[in-house]
Amino acid sequence: MARLIRNSLMKALILIFFASVATATGDAPFIVAHKKASLTRLKSGSERVSVSIDIYNQGFSTAYDVSLLDDSWPQDMFDIVSGNTSRSWERLDAGGLLSHSFELEAKKQGMFYGAPAVITFRIPTKAALQEAYSTPILPLDVLAERPPEKKFDWAKRLLAKYGSQISVISIVVLFIYLILTPSKSSAAKASKKKR
């Protein structure tokens, strides 16, 4: 009887331990923000920077008053073309995703090292505003001197990408064609034999 009680007590303790370990990671939101910046050169020669920021909530509870602020683009180097560098949402549920993007036009030439964007949010258990940083971006070579593309570069690129597939398909099609269509010399030989 005592042994039974001891066994059940052990099991209960183990259960409680595991339960506590599972909840030990907390029930707060965990904001993971992904910032991406890409350069596009327009025909007119000006360069545009498209910035997109994805905010994921990998935690276990909702984040309220999520506000994104990206001050890493100084006014003397970039002009805002479309969108806004800051945005706010009411809430971000656990497992949810928020996206924001904007476009800038580059004014000055040179290497640009961007800082991460700042995301602030509130959680019910704490009064202070919580902060989270996004991923940093790779250095951007703004308005770099690009060597002019040689005449048939685009053809070379297409060939490199699809060359093997095109050659294989052409070999197979040629082979099928050769088998299906009888040649003139063989037809003449057949008719001669019949005579």
Partner 1 sequence: MAIKILRVFFIGLLLLQFPLFQVVRCQSEIEADVEGSELGIVREDVQDFVGGNFKPAPGVETICLFPKNSAKVVPAGEKTELLVGMENVGQSPLNIIAIEASVHLPFDHRMLVQNLTAQVFDNASVPPSTQATFPYIFAVSKFLQPGTFDLVGTVVYEINQSPYQSTFYNGTIEVVEAGGFVSVESVFLVTLGISLVVLLGLWIHGQFKRISQKTKAAPKVEVGTGTTDASMDEWLQGTAYNQSSSKSKKKK
Binding site for partner 1 (CB under 8 A): 25-26, 30-34, 54, 56, 58, 116, 128, 130-136, 138-139, 164-165, 168-169, 172, 176
Smallest gap from Cβ 59 to partner 1, in A, equals: 8
Task: List the structure tokens of 89.
Answer: 């949402």
Please say whether the beta carbons of 61 and 28 come within 8 A.
Answer: yes
Nearer to partner 1, 46 or 130 (CB): 130
Smallest gap from Cβ 13 to partner 1, in A, equals: 24
Residue with tokens 């685009």: 154
Nearer to partner 1, 172 or 188 (CB): 172
Task: List the structure tokens of 107.
Answer: 């004014």
Smallest gap from Cβ 10 to partner 1, in A, equals: 28
Longest dimension (CA), the chain: 110
Q: What CA–CA distances, in Å, run from 136 to 70, 160, 176?
A: 11, 33, 55
Nearer to partner 1, 1 or 128 (CB): 128
Smallest gap from Cβ 115 to partner 1, in A, equals: 10
Torsion sign (Cα): 184, 188, 193, 195: positive
Smallest gap from Cβ 11 to partner 1, in A, equals: 28
Query: What's the gap between Cα 2 and its chain centre?
Result: 60
Nearer to partner 1, 15 or 172 (CB): 172
Q: In the 3-class helix/strand/coil scheme, how is 26-60 assigned residue by residue?
A: CCCCCEEEEEEEEEEECCCCCEEEEEEEEEEECCC
Nearer to partner 1, 144 or 172 (CB): 172
